[in-house]
Copies of this chain bind each other. A is one copy, B any other.
Amino acid sequence: MTKNSKPNILVTNDDGITAPGIKALIEAVSDFGNLVVVAPDSPQSGQGHALTLNTPLRLRKVKHFEGIEAYECSGTPVDCVKLAKDVVMGERGIDLCVSGINHGSNASINIIYSGTVSAAMEASLEGIDSIGFSLLNYSYDADFEPAKKYVRHLVDYVLKNGLNNTKLLNVNIPGLPAEEIKGVKVCRQAEAKWVEEFARAKDPHGREYYWLTGKFINSDNSEDADVVALENGYVSVVPSHHDLTAYDAIDGLRAVEL
């Protein structure tokens, strides 16, 4: 953090800069520091850690949020963070990155498809403490008010204490009225998955197409799984990282001398 000044907080999301969720996030954290918003100019849900290699990126200063420096970017959430760090913030530096509030769950396996959490992870790769926030309500008109309390609580904690070696928190908030949310639970990512059901139809030109749809199936009922905490009315906090190594498989594979 820059000496004698408020922290620089980068705000991004994957639902796009006009989504109500990012507005709620900005409202929740605006008094914690100097906010700079760099967010996609269009919805980028399900973009995971995608980045834009083969086309140029556009970055445009906008006035969507009163008194707050904000830019919309033509790329993915990860592109936004890369541009924020290298082009927008440069020597100013970023002390904290918050991403969201996503319209819909990023608990369990959703984390790997999530543009919201991938944006936060991209910042964490740069050594920046980062939090992805998601509300378990997919609706455009979701009520983000109850979520704001937990956003503020966690941002306050992270700004005061830092995240040490873990630089990334994946936070999901139940889609419940404030009085029904029971508190915060530190969890692990549940072992759940999506079962696809492609809708198959013909376009107006008679050509067949497929459209992805699916059902989320949780088979992980242990108490420390994020999906279970959410079902029980808790905000789930999963410390997360970018190391995908399956360490427990290394010795076995070494033993067979591949």
Contacts and interface: CB of A to CB of B under 8 A. Distances in A.
Contacts of A181: none
A77 B153 CA distance: 38
Interface stretch (A28-36, A91-99, A139-147, A233-241): A233-241
Nearest to A122: B112
A79 B194 CA distance: 13
Given A49-B113, A112-B244, A210 B56 contact: yes
B125 A166 contact: no
A129 to B, nearest CB: 12
Contacts of A250: 186, 188, 224, 239
Contacts of A50: 46-50, 76, 113
A147 to B, nearest CB: 15
Contacts of A46: 50-53
A47 B53 CA distance: 9
A256 B188 contact: no
B125 A79 contact: no
Interface residues of A, number: 79
A137 interface: no
A58 B207 contact: yes
Interface string A130-155: 00000000000000000000000110
Nearest to A74: B209
Contacts of A165: 246, 248-249
A258 B186 contact: yes
A254 interface: yes
Given A212-B79, A258-B154, A246 B237 contact: no
A210 B57 contact: yes
List of 6 A-B pairs having minimum Cβ-Cβ separation, nearest first: A48-B49, A56-B209, A239-B249, A166-B249, A50-B50, A239-B246
6 contacts: A46-B50, A49-B113, A111-B244, A112-B118, A224-B250, A242-B244
